[in-house]
């Protein structure tokens, strides 16, 4: 019986792989999956739920580490994409509560995968902007800019 359960579990794991949220040992293999993980981590941490702590940072490292192994030539735009996705998870509606999540840490970690020192510097500035809760202040974060564009043009 125990053997059957083991086989079933193994089969299920192989058939439905990579639910990184429920399986912290599995790194997200796509940027979409990473965003899903970080979205859930963000929501949990806003509610002071620490059960998912570390998954966003870990997933970021795992995903970008995988890209470094499989397609190192594409790493810089992927880092930019990950940074953008993470930054966009920081919404102004929740005010500064979001800067207490691990999203800025994940952004900082993402920057370390780039070989371009200027890109690293700019991405760290984005993380700092989030940490300082100055989302509308600099060109590093365009969330308020998008809202302003919509308002100013009547969109």
Partner 1 sequence: MLERLSRQFGVLSAGVIVFAAALFVLPGEAQHEQLGQAKPPQVARMLASMPAPLSERAQDAVAESCYRSLRSTYFAALDTPRRQQVLDTCEAAMSDLTGNVPTHGAAGLVLAQIGVITGSATAGALLEESARVSPNSTWLRLRRLDISRASEALPDDAALLMTRDINDLLATPAGQQGLARRYLADTAFAQKLLAVVDTAPAPVQKAFVDAIRLAEGAE
DSSP E strands in 8-154: the ranges are none
Taking the C-alpha atoms of residue 34 and residue 77, their distance in angstroms, rounded to an integer, is 16
Evaluate whether 98 touches 109 at the Cβ level (below 8 Å): no
Shortest CA distance to 108 belongs to which of 89, 121, 96?
121
Nearer of residues 29 and 134 to partner 1, judged by Cβ:
134
**145, 147, 152, 155 alpha-carbon torsion, rounded to 10°:** 130
CB of residue 77 to partner 1, shortest distance in Å: 6
Stretch in the footprint of partner 1 (CB under 8 A) among 4-12, 21-29, 31-39, 44-52? 31-39
Taking the C-alpha atoms of residue 6 and residue 150, their distance in angstroms, rounded to an integer, is 55
Half-sphere exposure of 66 (CA within 13 A, CB side): 12
Given 51, 69, 70, 153, the residue binding partner 1 (CB under 8 A): 153
Given 51, 69, 70, 151, the residue binding partner 1 (CB under 8 A): 151
Contact status: 29 vs partner 1 (CB under 8 A): no
CB of residue 97 to partner 1, shortest distance in Å: 15
CB of residue 108 to partner 1, shortest distance in Å: 12
CB of residue 59 to partner 1, shortest distance in Å: 17
Kindly state the number of chain residues that form the binding site for partner 1, as judged by CB under 8 A: 45
Evaluate whether 58 touches 50 at the Cβ level (below 8 Å): no
Contact status: 142 vs partner 1 (CB under 8 A): yes
Q: Which residues contribute to the site for partner 1 (CB under 8 A)?
A: 31-32, 35, 76-77, 79-81, 83-85, 87-88, 91-93, 114, 116, 118-119, 122-123, 125-126, 134-153, 155
């Amino acid at each position: 019986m125990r053997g059957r359960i083991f086989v079933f579990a193994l089969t299920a794991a192989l058939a439905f792989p990579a639910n990184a949220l429920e399986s912290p040992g599995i790194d997200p293999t796509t940027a979409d999956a990473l965003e899903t993980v970080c979205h859930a981590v963000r929501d949990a941490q806003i509610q002071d739920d620490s059960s998912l702590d570390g998954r966003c940072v870990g997933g970021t490292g795992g995903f970008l580490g995988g890209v470094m192994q499989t397609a190192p030539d594409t790493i810089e735009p992927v880092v930019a994409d990950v940074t953008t996705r993470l930054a966009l998870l920081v919404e102004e509606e929740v005010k500064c509560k979001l800067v207490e999540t691990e999203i800025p840490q994940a952004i900082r970690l993402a920057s370390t995968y780039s070989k371009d020192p200027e890109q690293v510097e700019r991405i760290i500035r984005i993380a700092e902007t989030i940490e300082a809760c100055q989302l509308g202040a600099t060109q590093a974060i365009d969330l308020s800019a998008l809202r302003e564009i919509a308002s100013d043009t009547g969109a």
